[in-house]
Chains A and B, each alone.
Chain A
Amino acid sequence: MRQRTRPGVLPGSAESLGVPRAEIARRVAECLGLVGLAGFERREPATLSGGEKQRLAIASVLAMRPSLILLDEPTTDLDPVGKGEVHAILRRLAADGLAVAVIEHETEELLDLDRILHLDAGAVRRDGPPRRLLLEVAELAAAGVEPPVAARASRWLGLAEVVREERFADEVAARGVQVERTGVRPRLATRGEAPVIEVDHLVHRYPLRDQPAVDDVSLAIRPGEFVALLGANGSGKTTLAKHLNGLLPPTSGAVRVAGHDAKKAGTAQLARHVGYVFQDPDHQIFSATVWEEMAFGPRNLGVGEDQLESRILAALEVVGLTEERDRDPFVLTKGQRQRLAVASVLATAPEILVLDEPTTGLDYNDRERMLALLADLHRRGHTVLVITHAMEVVASHCERALVMAGGKLVFDGGIPELFANDEVLARARLRAPTAWRLGRMLGLETLTPEELGAALRGGGGGNGA
Chain B
Amino acid sequence: MKLFLYLDRESVVHRLHPVTKLVALPVLFGVAMRLERLETLALLALVVVVVAALGRALDAVAGMASLLLTLLIATTLMWWLFAPQGGLLRDGFQPAALARSAGLGLRLALMVASGIVFLATTRVEDFAHGLRTLGLPYRVAFALTLAFRLVPTFVASGRAVAEAQRARGLDLDHGGLVTRMRRYTPLVVPMFLTSIRRADRLAAALETRGFGSGEKRTDLVEHRFGGRDALAAVLLVGLVAASLWGGELASQPAVQAALGSARAWLEALYAKAASRP
Question: A residues bordering B, Cβ < 8 Å?
Answer: 1-3, 6-8, 11-21, 24-25, 28, 42-44, 46-47, 60-61, 64, 206-209, 242, 245, 247, 267-268, 271-272, 274-276, 278, 280, 282-286, 296-297, 300-301, 330, 344-345, 348
24 residue pairs bridging A and B, Cβ less than 8 Å apart: A1-B15, A1-B223, A6-B123, A15-B219, A16-B209, A17-B215, A25-B220, A42-B8, A43-B8, A44-B4, A208-B60, A247-B163, A247-B167, A268-B170, A274-B167, A276-B167, A284-B186, A286-B185, A286-B188, A286-B190, A296-B186, A297-B168, A300-B168, A301-B169
The CA-CA distance from A306 to B163 in the complex, in Å, is 28
Query: Number of B residues contacting the other chain (C-beta, 8 Å)?
Result: 51
- Minimum CB–CB distance for A381 against chain B, Å: 21
Pairwise interchain contact B208-A2, C-beta atoms closer than 8 A = no
Q: A17-B210, A25-B220, A286-B190 are in contact. List 6 more A-B contacts (CB 8 A).
A: A3-B221, A60-B209, A61-B209, A206-B2, A283-B164, A296-B168
Pairwise interchain contact A271-B2, C-beta atoms closer than 8 A = no
The CA-CA distance from A456 to B152 in the complex, in Å, is 53
Contacts of B220 in A (CB 8 A): 7, 11, 15, 21, 24-25, 28
Contacts of A207 in B (CB 8 A): 1-2, 63
Within 8 A of A (CB), among B119-142: 123, 125
| Cβ-neighbour of A2 out of B1, B60, B211, B223 (below 8 A) | B223
Known contacts: A16-B215, A19-B218, A282-B194. The answer to whether A64 contacts B168 by CB under 8 A is no
B interface SS class? loop
| Cβ-neighbour of B15 out of A2, A18, A28, A206 (below 8 A) | A2
Known contacts: A14-B218, A207-B2, A286-B190. The answer to whether A267 contacts B209 by CB under 8 A is no
**Top 9 closest A-B pairs, CB basis?**
A300-B169, A18-B215, A13-B209, A286-B189, A284-B164, A297-B168, A16-B210, A271-B169, A276-B167
- Minimum CB–CB distance for A205 against chain B, Å: 12
The CA-CA distance from A354 to B89 in the complex, in Å, is 53
Pairwise interchain contact B212-A46, C-beta atoms closer than 8 A = no
B252 in the interface, Cβ–Cβ < 8 Å? no
A-contact 0/1 string along B210-242, CB 8 Å cutoff = 111101111111111010000000000000000
A-contact 0/1 string along B1-39, CB 8 Å cutoff = 111101010000001010000000000000000000000
B91 in the interface, Cβ–Cβ < 8 Å? no
Known contacts: A12-B209, A13-B209. The answer to whether A18 contacts B157 by CB under 8 A is no
The CA-CA distance from A315 to B122 in the complex, in Å, is 51
The CA-CA distance from A320 to B171 in the complex, in Å, is 29
Pairwise interchain contact B171-A300, C-beta atoms closer than 8 A = yes
The CA-CA distance from A24 to B217 in the complex, in Å, is 11
Pairwise interchain contact A13-B8, C-beta atoms closer than 8 A = no
B51 in the interface, Cβ–Cβ < 8 Å? no
Pairwise interchain contact B161-A284, C-beta atoms closer than 8 A = yes
- Minimum CB–CB distance for B163 against chain A, Å: 5
B59 in the interface, Cβ–Cβ < 8 Å? yes
| Cβ-neighbour of B160 out of A11, A42, A280, A330 (below 8 A) | A280
The CA-CA distance from A209 to B63 in the complex, in Å, is 10
Contacts of B210 in A (CB 8 A): 13-14, 16-17, 64
Contacts of B59 in A (CB 8 A): 208
A-contact 0/1 string along B159-199, CB 8 Å cutoff = 01101111111110000000000000110111001100100
- Minimum CB–CB distance for B123 against chain A, Å: 8
| Cβ-neighbour of B167 out of A7, A25, A245 (below 8 A) | A245
Contacts of A21 in B (CB 8 A): 218-220, 222
Question: Whose C-beta in chain B lies nearest to the C-beta of A245?
Answer: B167
Question: Whose C-beta in chain A lies nearest to the C-beta of B194?
Answer: A282
Contacts of B125 in A (CB 8 A): 6, 8
Question: Whose C-beta in chain B lies nearest to the C-beta of A7?
Answer: B220
The CA-CA distance from A276 to B2 in the complex, in Å, is 24
- Minimum CB–CB distance for A74 against chain B, Å: 13
Pairwise interchain contact A46-B3, C-beta atoms closer than 8 A = yes
Question: Whose C-beta in chain A lies nearest to the C-beta of B153?
Answer: A46
The CA-CA distance from A44 to B222 in the complex, in Å, is 19
Pairwise interchain contact A283-B167, C-beta atoms closer than 8 A = no
Known contacts: A208-B2, A345-B168. The answer to whether A285 contacts B216 by CB under 8 A is no
Contacts of A16 in B (CB 8 A): 209-213, 215, 217
Contacts of A24 in B (CB 8 A): 218, 220
Pairwise interchain contact B216-A18, C-beta atoms closer than 8 A = yes
The CA-CA distance from A129 to B167 in the complex, in Å, is 47
Contacts of A14 in B (CB 8 A): 210, 218
Pairwise interchain contact A344-B168, C-beta atoms closer than 8 A = yes
Pairwise interchain contact B190-A284, C-beta atoms closer than 8 A = yes
- Minimum CB–CB distance for A263 against chain B, Å: 14
Question: Whose C-beta in chain B lies nearest to the C-beta of A10?
Answer: B220
Pairwise interchain contact A267-B215, C-beta atoms closer than 8 A = no
The CA-CA distance from A46 to B149 in the complex, in Å, is 9
The CA-CA distance from A136 to B17 in the complex, in Å, is 63
The CA-CA distance from A276 to B164 in the complex, in Å, is 8
Pairwise interchain contact B186-A286, C-beta atoms closer than 8 A = yes
Contacts of B211 in A (CB 8 A): 12, 16
Pairwise interchain contact A283-B169, C-beta atoms closer than 8 A = no
- Minimum CB–CB distance for A328 against chain B, Å: 12
The CA-CA distance from A64 to B220 in the complex, in Å, is 14
- Minimum CB–CB distance for A336 against chain B, Å: 16
